[in-house]
Amino acid sequence: MADRQELRLLGDTPKAVSRRKFIQGVIAGGAAVSSAAYLFRSSAVHGAGDTGGRLITLNVNGQRRRADVMKQETLAWTLRYKLGLTGTKLGCDRGECGACTVLLDDVPHYSCSVLTHTVRDQKVLTIEGLANPDGTLHPIQQGIIDEQGFQCAFCMSGFIMASVGFLKTNPNPTRSELAHGISGNLCRCQDYDKILTSLMRGAANMREVNHVDLG
């Protein structure tokens, strides 16, 4: 009922309601569909089924996680296929699209271009670790719901992680500064204006939550 009333206020269509619910459903975990074709191609590269890995411990989303990791394995692969954290997406798998962005010690990195063995002493933060344990979304995630950014949402977790990292050192960016800060992320649906509006709203939410004095 509340949705219908909100719809009337926004002048949206019922189709938009289901989209809103879809976005809310995937935003915390980034559970968008991944490519089966990619999986088959990558299995050969990463030696799926090979047991020649080494058991290591990673710090992921504040938890110690054990994984059997091949020496040539990328962090994106480990997160998705060893630890089940599929919110980190794989698009290009060669450092071009930003879909796989995670934070390493608070700095955004393309996880498809980082070997898992090299991050054993670092804190890894993925989209699954952003929300509070009580389910309260991160201010950036809330900004996306508020502004209805993103279409298919495949690129969404990468944009969110890049923004969270950028805003840690630039809490009050102009629109063009934020655009520059996330310029390493691509959106195949090309909804950049709406994405930026959502992330700017998220940045404002963050300042409110963190009580940043803008002078």
CA distances from 22 to 25, 93, 118, 126 (A): 5, 26, 36, 20
Whether the CA torsion 9, 29, 76, 169 is positive or negative: it is positive
Interaction site with ligand FES (CB under 6 A): 90-93, 95-100, 110, 112, 150-155, 187-189, 191
- Least Å distance, CB 26 to ligand FES, is 11
Report phi then psi at 48, rounded to 5. -55, 135
Q: How far apart are CA 11 and CA 96, in angstroms?
A: 37
- Least Å distance, CB 91 to ligand FES, is 4
In the bound state with ligand FES, the residue whose beta carbon lies nearer, of 97 and 199, is 97
Q: Quick one: CA torsion of 208, 2, 144, 134, rounded to 10 degrees?
A: 60
In the bound state with ligand FES, the residue whose beta carbon lies nearer, of 189 and 212, is 189
Give the sheet arrangement for strand 123-125, strand by strand: 63-69, 54-60, 123-125, 101-104, 107-110
- Least Å distance, CB 207 to ligand FES, is 25
- Least Å distance, CB 102 to ligand FES, is 10
In the bound state with ligand FES, the residue whose beta carbon lies nearer, of 161 and 206, is 161
In the bound state with ligand FES, the residue whose beta carbon lies nearer, of 112 and 167, is 112
